[in-house]
Structure 1
Amino acid sequence: MTEPRQSPRIRYDEGCLAAHALNVVGDRWALLVARELMLTPKRFQAIRRGLPGVTAAVLTQRLGQLAEAGVVAQGAGLYALTDSGRGLMPVLQAMCRWGALHPGHDPRRFISPTALIISMTAMIRPTPAHAVAGLVMGDEAFTLHLTGDGILRPRAGADPTAGFVLSGNGNDLARAVYGPAPLSDLARNGTIGLTGDAAAAQDFVDLFGLR
């Protein structure tokens, strides 16, 4: 018999729906744990690599709380988001857009691969362009599909149909995507790797802006 799901831990004793949401995902690190699982299931240590400031004890606690709330499921050593957890994607995108409006953002601080990809889905300018882009960051690879409706659709894994592939760490690729330097210069000085159609890659990154 299935055990009844526990109610979220009460942090805010209010009937407000926003307060209720914060009772579910408002603890420190909880929403960022969901961020790291948004594009693919991960093992415990892989989640920690995307959250270098979290301790193992806190991450264990947050995963347990999110599992109790029905946001995360565990199986075969992997943690994955449930349908409820995947429903947080628009929340993360809205937070990216909101955060870009406020001063104090320091792009020199650690940016995880998943964090960069989610920010790109939020910060792309409206466009009828089509593209299939590959991004490789260490042992993580992503394919980004832009299909003419202005929505960037990411998925984990490489795709041989990608017209170009950018490689580097999260911070260097964030510089390539959002910074003013041409990709050719960044590739030439070794900041990033670039294979495939360089002109198409430049056209692609020109679609993104922080403000």
Structure 2
Amino acid sequence: MRRKGFDQYCGLARALELIGERWALLIIRELLAHPGRYTDLLEELPGIPTNVLSTRLKELEEAGIVERRIAPAPQRGVLYVLTKDGESLEGAVLALALWGNGQLGDYQSEDRVPPSSLALALRATFNREAASELTASWEIRAGRAALHAVVTDGHLTSGTGPAPSEPDLVITVPGDAVPPYREIMRAIKSGEVELSGPPSLLDTFALVFTPPAAQ
């Protein structure tokens, strides 16, 4: 059952009516990183009941935030994809995630790191000034996760999964578990990674994905 409206003429109240239900923002996080099938979302959101996932997807569709598309060959079935309104939530999701990072506490080895959160971290830390006029692509492999970051004339496209075409540099972070973003960046900046491609692009990656205030 949908939560009762707040009866307020307020943008925040309306946003909460549309995306404030439990799991809704995490579904949006996953779809910001990559369009997904129902089974993909179930896998990437451990703990979500199947009926809740179905309900949230239906609510987000009705709100014009998510839409269904037929998966292109060779895939089969239905993909859930964000609409333009859904994609416009990226800034708000990134802001909430950055605020939440300060509330996480210390990372424990048993903690699960969602690959989608790493893809969004690339967007949150992207230094547009440093990437001006740059064209380069990277694939980052960390545990079972694969991420890609493609910069074309200074514009970033990032997400989960392998790079859409042959990347200029593949960066492999050692270890079996998916580490948090700060650990990936620490390994990259200290050179504790395996490379396939021009080593100079590792320094470029570290520069481009460090916010100006942190340099």
Shorter-chain TM-score: what band?
A: 0.7 to 0.9
Distance 1:128 1:185, change over 3 A: closer
- How far the C-alpha of 1:127 sits from its partner, in A, is 3.3
Instruction: Return the alpha-carbon distance in structure 2 between the equivalents of residues 170 and 72 of structure 1.
Output: 31
Distance 1:106 1:52, change over 3 A: farther
- How far the C-alpha of 1:207 sits from its partner, in A, is 3.8
Residues 102-138 of structure 1, C-alpha deviation per residue, up to 9 Å, x if partnerless? 3434544322222211111012234333231123467
Tell me whether 127-136 or 172-181 shows the greater mean CA deviation: 172-181
Instruction: Return the alpha-carbon distance in structure 2 between the equivalents of residues 9 and 198 of structure 1.
Output: 52
Distance 1:196 1:175, change over 3 A: farther
Q: Which one of 140, 152, 158 corresponds to residue 156 of structure 2?
A: 152
Query: What is the RMSD of the two structures over their aligned residues, measured on CA atoms?
Result: 3.1
Distance 1:183 1:77, change over 3 A: farther
1:117 maps to 119
- How far the C-alpha of 1:91 sits from its partner, in A, is 1.4
Instruction: Return the alpha-carbon distance in structure 1 between the equivalents of residues 185 and 24 of structure 2.
Output: 27
Residues 38-77 of structure 1, C-alpha deviation per residue, up to 9 Å, x if partnerless? 2432111211222123222221221121112121122442
Alignment map for 1:27-66 (pairs within 5 Å): 27-66=21-60
Give the gaps of 5 or more residues in structure 1: 1-7, 188-193
Per the alignment, in what secondary structure is the counterpart of residue 167 of structure 2?
Answer: coil
Q: Which one of 181, 184, 190 corresponds to residue 191 of structure 2?
A: 184
Per the alignment, in what secondary structure is the counterpart of residue 139 of structure 2?
Answer: strand
2:68 maps to 74
Instruction: Return the alpha-carbon distance in structure 1 between the equivalents of residues 187 and 171 of structure 2.
Output: 16
Instruction: Return the alpha-carbon distance in structure 1 between the equivalents of residues 49 and 162 of structure 2.
Output: 28
TM-score, structure 2 normalization:
0.74
Distance 1:56 1:202, change over 3 A: farther
Amino acid at match of 2:83: T
Amino acid at match of 2:139: G
Instruction: Return the alpha-carbon distance in structure 1 between the equivalents of residues 81 and 188 of structure 2.
Output: 36
1:3 maps to none
Amino acid at match of 1:135: I
Instruction: Return the alpha-carbon distance in structure 1 between the equivalents of residues 149 and 162 of structure 2.
Output: 10
Aligned length: 196
Instruction: Return the alpha-carbon distance in structure 1 between the equivalents of residues 187 and 172 of structure 2.
Output: 18
Residues 23-46 of structure 1, C-alpha deviation per residue, up to 9 Å, x if partnerless? 000011101101111243211121
2:13 maps to 19
Distance 1:27 1:170, change over 3 A: farther
Instruction: Return the alpha-carbon distance in structure 2 between the equivalents of residues 51 and 105 of structure 1.
Output: 21
2:168 maps to 163
Verify the 8 A CA contact 2:137 2:150 in the aligned structure 1: yes
Per the alignment, in what secondary structure is the counterpart of residue 20 of structure 1?
Answer: helix
Verify the 8 A CA contact 1:73 1:80 in the aligned structure 2: yes
1:132 maps to 137
Instruction: Return the alpha-carbon distance in structure 1 between the equivalents of residues 105 and 198 of structure 2.
Output: 32
Verify the 8 A CA contact 2:149 2:163 in the aligned structure 1: no
Give the gaps of 5 or more residues in structure 2: 70-76
Per the alignment, in what secondary structure is the counterpart of residue 28 of structure 1?
Answer: coil
Per the alignment, in what secondary structure is the counterpart of residue 165 of structure 1?
Answer: strand
Amino acid at match of 2:25: L
Tell me whether 53-62 or 129-138 shows the greater mean CA deviation: 129-138
